[in-house]
């Protein structure tokens, strides 16, 4: 018997399902998982405690859980071409925290991309643990929004950080991992590549991989990988001495840093208890799906769709940061339309189009009401939309931005959005 509180939760979940079905999800960090992933996320695997790692648990009854975790790890090794995987981090931020915990001591100097220029909170931002427990220095983009590798190299040589995070949440161009590895290793620094946003593109071979360049790689599993809300930490090395390759590259004379072991100990028991086994199974299912030809075509289409949107926006007079995109996202300065990022986000949401407000490089406005919005194509592409739909959607977005105070136009666009979404349904058989 469903009590009153339970009934409310189920009703709200049904309303959220309808919102997702009837609207255009264009937040770059969001996607739709497959129904098989959803089934595993709601499975009895959530009942089991499994502290430790396969074959080395602190609880009994993990025979099948061990097999599930090993399958997830083996899929990831095959996809990304690494020798060691940890699939237990609860999400992206805990994964990054584990890397700091493994490779640094409190107070060590670390370096990452400034949040206001497209970086992530856990890359050393001042209000985050990474900026409070470590001495953090931040690099930015140039005036056009591109990474300035010469400026980064100069900063690294001057500051000599122990660890450098690369990767971003609002950067639309290919990242030169090889160049950044050369810069980091020239000063004996660890290079950590956070590929949370582009992991699916890397897995499909449509974006350069940091494997072979970065010492450690972190990623979430719920963005372009189309999996559940979880994370992975990847690294490689000589199997008899998992960090010999890294030690040789950095120039250490002794193998003092067994990175895979340090990472595993940092995740458990350093920061976490039992892993979320239903999430691990969801990750395994998502990685199984990543290995299909369909996924490769999907990843290619993500980029085609993003580039089509970017071109359409620029043709309409919007300022697209860096003048385009190489991946799944677009960062747009909307102020030429006499609107702020917050106003744009709100007006678009009223029309059934979900984006997020975002700072642009050298933004003169507050982070709480910045100049830009961030738009992504992973979820639209999952629905099956292609270039023609992107042209329609760009026109809808521009119409809203130009008429953000016009309720009649907003309602008209909302109806157009619903009509388009009905042609590309999701989760047809799910009812809460």
Identify whether 220 is a catalytic site residue. Answer: yes
136, 141, 143, 146: CA torsion to nearest 10: 180
The question of whether 15 is a catalytic residue gets the answer no
223 catalytically annotated: yes
User: Half-sphere exposure of 310 toward its Cβ, with a 13 Å CA cutoff?
Assistant: 23
Longest CA–CA separation in the chain, Å: 70
- The span from the CA of 172 to the CA of 372, in Å, is 14
DSSP classification of residue 141: B
What is the SS3 assignment for 69?
A: helix
Paired tokens of 262: 């340090």
User: Could you tell me if residue 135 is left (phi over 0), alpha (psi between -120 and 50 degrees) or otherwise beta?
Assistant: beta
Catalytic-labelled residue, pool 22, 30, 48, 49: 49
Tokens representing 169?
A: 């949440």
Residue labelled with tokens 């990472």: 263
Q: Is 51 a catalytic residue?
A: yes
Residues ≥6 apart with Cβ < 8 Å to 362: 143
Catalytic residue among 194, 312, 326, 333: 194
If you ran DSSP here, which 8-state letter would residue 115 be given? Answer: G
List 22, 51, 108, 187, catalytic entry: 51
Candidates 57, 77, 179, 229; catalytic one: 229
Collapsed DSSP state (helix, strand, coil) of residue 287:
helix
**Are 219 and 194 a contacting pair, CB within 8 Å?**
yes
Cis geometry, peptide bond prior to residue 269 (ω within 30 degrees of 0) = yes
Which residue among the candidates 33, 122, 220, 224 is catalytic per the annotation?
Answer: 220
Single out the catalytic residue among 73, 162, 173, 223: 223
Name the DSSP class of 147: B
- Supply 368's token pair: 């709480």
**CB under 8 Å to 129, separation ≥6 — which residues?**
97, 100, 122
Active site residue ranges: 49, 51, 194, 220, 223, 229
């Amino acid at each position: 018997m469903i009590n009153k509180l339970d009934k409310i939760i189920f009703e709200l979940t049904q309303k959220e399902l309808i919102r997702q079905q009837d609207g255009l999800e264009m937040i770059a960090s969001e996607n739709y998982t497959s129904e098989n992933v959803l089934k595993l996320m709601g499975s009895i695997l959530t009942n089991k405690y499994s502290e430790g790692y396969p074959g080395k648990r602190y609880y009994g009854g993990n025979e099948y859980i061990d097999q599930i975790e090993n399958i997830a790890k083996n899929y990831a090794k095959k996809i990304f071409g690494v020798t060691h995987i940890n699939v237990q981090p609860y999400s992206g931020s805990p994964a990054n925290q584990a890397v700091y915990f493994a490779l640094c001591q409190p107070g060590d100097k670390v370096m990452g991309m400034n949040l206001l220029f497209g970086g992530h909170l856990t890359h050393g931002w001042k209000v985050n643990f990474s900026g409070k427990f470590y001495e953090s220095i931040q690099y930015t983009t140039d005036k056009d929004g591109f990474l300035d590798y010469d400026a980064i190299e100069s900063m690294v040589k001057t500051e000599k950080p122990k660890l450098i995070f690369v990767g971003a949440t609002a950067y639309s161009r290919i990242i030169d991992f090889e160049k950044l590895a050369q810069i980091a290793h020239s000063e004996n620094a660890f290079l950590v590549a956070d590929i949370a946003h582009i992991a699916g593109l890397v897995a499909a071979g449509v974006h350069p991989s940091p494997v072979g360049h970065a010492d450690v790689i972190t990623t979430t599993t719920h963005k372009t990988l189309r999996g559940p809300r979880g994370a992975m930490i990847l690294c490689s090395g000589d199997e008899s001495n998992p960090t010999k390759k890294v030690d040789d590259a950095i120039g250490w004379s002794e193998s003092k840093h067994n990175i895979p072991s340090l990472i595993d100990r940092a995740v458990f028991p350093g920061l976490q208890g039992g892993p979320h086994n239903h999430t691990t199974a969801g990750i395994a299912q998502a990685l199984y799906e990543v290995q299909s030809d369909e996924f490769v075509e999907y990843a290619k289409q993500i980029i085609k769709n993003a580039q089509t949107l970017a071109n359409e926006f620029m043709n309409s007079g919007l300022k697209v940061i860096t003048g385009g995109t190489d991946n799944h996202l677009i960062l747009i300065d909307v102020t030429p339309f006499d609107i702020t990022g917050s106003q744009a986000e709100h007006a678009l949401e009223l029309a059934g189009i979900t984006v997020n407000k975002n700072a642009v490089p050298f933004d003169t406005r507050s982070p709480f009401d910045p100049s830009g919005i961030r738009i992504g194509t992973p979820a639209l592409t999952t629905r099956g939309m292609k270039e023609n739909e992107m042209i329609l959607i760009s026109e809808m977005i521009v119409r809203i931005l130009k008429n953000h105070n016009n309720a009649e136009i907003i309602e008209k666009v909302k109806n157009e959005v619903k009509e388009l979404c009905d042609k590309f349904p999701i989760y047809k058989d799910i009812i809460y």
